[in-house]
Structure 1
């Protein structure tokens, strides 16, 4: 039995869900999101909550049960609160700023890095050394944050680069004489 799959996904006030076949569409204050489940699970809407049940007792059906429930819960969270990733920039002369829908990064290269922000994602720079990525799609928010971090990942000797807020970078000792 899936402990996660057994729990129904409660719909808070202001959020509506609609099931069409294997597709769930959730509408909320931050927008509309949808997810298409596999044929190994069935979806139902009862008493203001979405429930997911496996079809059969196969291993694949049990795997899809917990996954589908989590995906539906992420839809509800995305349209109510949204998802957020915070990045920090460390290094002398390293900075970020938004210019329209382009994130301009100065990361020690001979040129500035221009990162085009995809639709559905909001990127802000409250300080020159902070980047906040927000959106309703958890996967897309995480991917955009990872793509920004990829331009200059934190290095272990001085700790310079782009890191997630609160991320611990294991530091190495430099050369000894």
Structure 2
């Protein structure tokens, strides 16, 4: 069922993997990530190659072997290269700037929005209408980007709002008289 779970992961030389009975720890040049192991998946480290096998032939065990393999692969990419997401602010007067550990968003409301940046995420504003979110945890980077985007999703008539870089927003035609 899961073909992804059958593929091994080759560990780069600058990444250190520690397997415990219920936790896997990855240490790389950018930081340390930890993940709880699933009881349905058996992980084996054989000379810097990780192998994932399902404990039994159940559908859930096979699908969890692919899920665990993808999560561990993303962790290896995170501790070596890191992840980033870019957001654009489209609209007249829409701006963003970093103030201490807060992201100050001016999105056309009567008040500015202060978003507290999590400690493991780095936010930058290369220009007033761009937000760059970086981190080693893929899920955390995507979650922060989704939370910021949720404040003002791109609307379908003028296209104003917070959108991902290269996101295509299909504009609707306005009502005719």
TM over 0.5, yes or no?
yes
Task: Give the Cα–Cα distance (whole angstroms) in 2 for the partners of residues 28 and 48 of structure 1.
Answer: 14
- TM-score (structure 2 length as normaliser): 0.97
- TM-score (structure 1 length as normaliser): 0.97
Gap regions ≥5 residues in structure 2: none
Corresponding residue number in structure 1 for 2:109: 109
Gap regions ≥5 residues in structure 1: none
Runs of 4+ that moved beyond 2 A: none
How far residue 63 of structure 1 moved from its aligned partner, in angstroms, is: 1.0
How far residue 2 of structure 1 moved from its aligned partner, in angstroms, is: 2.1
Task: Give the Cα–Cα distance (whole angstroms) in 2 for the partners of residues 42 and 54 of structure 1.
Answer: 6
Instruction: Tell me if the contact between 1:22 and 1:43 (Cα under 8 Å) persists in the aligned partners.
Output: no
Corresponding residue number in structure 1 for 2:143: 143
What's the RMSD between the two structures over aligned residues? 0.9
Corresponding residue number in structure 2 for 1:53: 53
Corresponding residue number in structure 1 for 2:93: 93
Task: Give the Cα–Cα distance (whole angstroms) in 1 for the partners of residues 22 and 11 of structure 2.
Answer: 18
Corresponding residue number in structure 2 for 1:10: 10
Q: What SS is found at the alignment partner of 1:51? A: strand
Task: Give the Cα–Cα distance (whole angstroms) in 2 for the partners of residues 37 and 96 of structure 1.
Answer: 39
Equivalences, count: 177
